[in-house]
A and B are shown apart, each in its own frame.
Chain A
Amino acid sequence: MAEIRVKNLRKDFGEFVAVQDSSFTVADGEFLALLGPSGCGKTTTLRMIAGLELPTSGQIFLDGEDVSFNRASARDIAFVFQLFALYPHMNVRKNIGFPLLSQGVPKAEIKARVEETAKLLQIGHILDKSVSGLAGGDRQRVALGRAIVRRPKCFLMDEPLGTLDAEFREVMVHELRELHNRIHATTVYVTHDQHEAMAMADKIAVMNHGIIEQFGTPQEIYNRPASMYVADFIGSPPMNFLKFTAGVQKGAGSVSFDGVEIALPEVHQDLAPGELALGVRPEHIRFNDSSALRGSVYGAEYLGTNQIVAVETGKGLLKARVSADRTFRIGETVGLELNSEKLSLFECASGRAVQSSLYTEARHG
């Protein structure tokens, strides 16, 4: 197992910049999820780590060794493809043993290690079957088996659950995390699904347009999004933005929003007057009829344990996640109270989060 360090990585495809100035470190045994919409450069980053693409500039270190321009076969990594890439002309046993064959491992040992791997993944019973007849989940396990049988330095996975149906995906998310807990392999996992990333990863890198917008633990990314993009991408429904124009002084503990004072974590920087956005997660909104911030109910989605209520405030639609107990009528006027400790403030022009005690406190604490 090994540490992966990526430094100022960049990849151009002609005019198109797929990845730019990416730097991050995946510690030994850590599970990193590269999260972003399609075309954001996450797969390209992964393929550069694997050696399937060569970087335009920048460096990749595997266990301290610069492997940026090494062949894929010389990097000792395993890759699980989106469509699994199980060799259709081989059965399960041969598929799993294929990487060992290239290393010249003796046949008896290949057999033993394939069976050990199959046991770990609970696919012993299908070892002699053809891969073409396998169900999605079994194909997934065989692909994983082929990756772990070699005990490589790290695992790279490119949306391995993308083709599974939703129900089964949850089972596999659980299994993958279990597997990771058992073998503690350094893993880079590419996905566009925030639930997968949140559920499995130790660290998440949110990417957009070839840039890593934020790198951090799932908690950091969810609670203290570094940019409006991250705030909007993570969470379902995503963070609400209330846009307004104002200037804020360093040390301010509230902003004036449409004539209503809203308390928020202490701001740590001066902001020239400009367009700002107040970010609030749906679960940080409560209904309080005495609140000065008012709006009319636009619609409600019942989810069983709770409900998502959309409220038109005149400054935009706010979605609140509240208890399912109360029934709302469409058009009903309600007062909204925002949890002042959890609010984020963004500069609309740059999209970056404004430094406040929410960000700094948590970092130190």
Chain B
Amino acid sequence: MSTANTAHSVVEPSQTTKRIAGAIVILYAIVTMVPLAWIFLTSFKSPPDSISYPPKIVFQPTLEGYCNLFTTRTRQTPEYIQSLGAPVSTCDEITRNRNMVIAGPSNYWPRFQNSLIIAFGSTFLAVFLGTLSAYGFSRFKVPLADDLLFFILSTRMMPPIAVAIPIYLMYRELGLSDTALGMILLYTAVNVSLAVWLLKGFIDEIPREYEEAAMIDGYTRLQAFRKVVLPQATTGIAATAIFCLIFAWNEYAFAVLLTSGSAQTAPPLSRRSSARADRTGRRLPPAPRSSSYRSSSSPSFCANNSCAASPSERFANDTRKSGNRQTETSVLPAARGYGKHRHGPDRHRLPDAVPAFRTGSLHLFAGHASCRDRDVHYCLEISGVNHGGDQGQKPAQGLR
């Protein structure tokens, strides 16, 4: 249809309609972009700016958030800092201005790699298993197919966190907690239901004739599947893989609960950066846990968001701001006490597992202010199970 005709066409919208529609779409896009833009901007704010109220739109940009994300820092006396030479990098300078020195790289990159391995590994497994079973459901007479499909779907019908405790215990028993394999298996189990359902739809759309033609042409069913069905299901497989990947990449609750050291993914790590700063900064007077200091990690969340774009972060961040401070403050000393107990003089190196688990769990449940106390109790119970009876008692006492 030529453009001259469009004004008179019944089905083509008029120019005015198109402009209005375009304006609405653009406006909506801008509105939805605001939070993302805000996160990106926050990553360049200094910690006080990031939590100031009313929020600052104009601010002095700083790389502190990124520095905090990629390095570990130690608090030092001003005399010590002055005794050092000139700062060697921007980060160095920023850190020194905070009375700290860079102690080394943070665990961010290894954790980021964990994220990649776990997300891609579970996506591959889920899509692989999903494709095969979707093909089976689509093409063969499976006894009780409808019931089985419903059963597969029903695994998604409760919040995964409801089974977090049993899974945690199970994993501990099986030696799967804090392993990449464990996380891959868990995300695969969650994703495979989605994969089966999505892929079944896609494979149903591919006419059987293609495989039948291939089988008549001398191929076995498996060859027909590989050479004829798979190439045509690529779009569907890709779409499914993206969904699975997004889930595995963003998953926060299980990652916090089940990983601590070796297999930890990026989201829980950046969440913990304040805790680490606390730990490493124990030479300082007990002042450091003023609320502004603890909140100092929010630009680094945003930095992580800008690097790895994980919305669950945002959620965690909000939850944290929305009133969990008290709980966290009370748990952290307990964790520290536990660390002392276990490691004696080595005060600088708490086992990763302990604070990660405690603070992580608290954040996990922190959304429900009304049952905060019970949640705290819950988490501590787990830590008791985790680390043996007598040691588990201590933090509990510390809390109460």
Interface residues of A (CB under 8 A from B): 50-52, 71-73, 75, 77-79, 81-83, 85, 87-89, 98-99, 102-103, 146, 150
Contact = CB atoms under 8 A, between A and B. Distances in A.
B207 A85 contact: yes
A73 B215 contact: yes
Interface stretch (B45-53, B129-137, B166-174, B216-224): B216-224
B218 A81 contact: no
B228 interface: yes
A56 B219 CA distance: 24
Interface residues of B, number: 16
Contact of B209 (A51, A85, A102): A85
Given A87-B228, A89-B232, A102-B223, A77 B216 contact: yes
Given A72-B212, A79-B212, A85-B207, A150 B228 contact: no
B215 A71 contact: yes
A81 B212 CA distance: 9
A71 B217 CA distance: 11
Contacts of A78: 216-217
B216 A73 contact: yes
B229 to A, nearest CB: 10
Nearest to B212: A52
Given A83-B209, A89-B232, A102-B223, 6 more contacts: A50-B216, A73-B217, A73-B218, A73-B220, A81-B213, A99-B217
Interface of B: 207, 209-210, 212-220, 223, 228, 231-232
Contact of B218 (A50, A83, A85, A102): A102
Contacts of A77: 216
B217 A102 contact: yes
A103 B218 contact: yes
28 contacts: A50-B212, A52-B215, A52-B216, A71-B220, A73-B216, A73-B217, A73-B219, A75-B216, A77-B216, A78-B216, A78-B217, A79-B216, A81-B212, A82-B209, A83-B207, A85-B209, A87-B210, A87-B213, A87-B214, A87-B228, A87-B231, A89-B232, A99-B218, A102-B214, A102-B218, A103-B218, A146-B213, A150-B217
B312 to A, nearest CB: 37
Nearest to A149: B217
Nearest to B228: A87
B217 A146 contact: yes
A150 B223 CA distance: 18
A74 B218 CA distance: 7
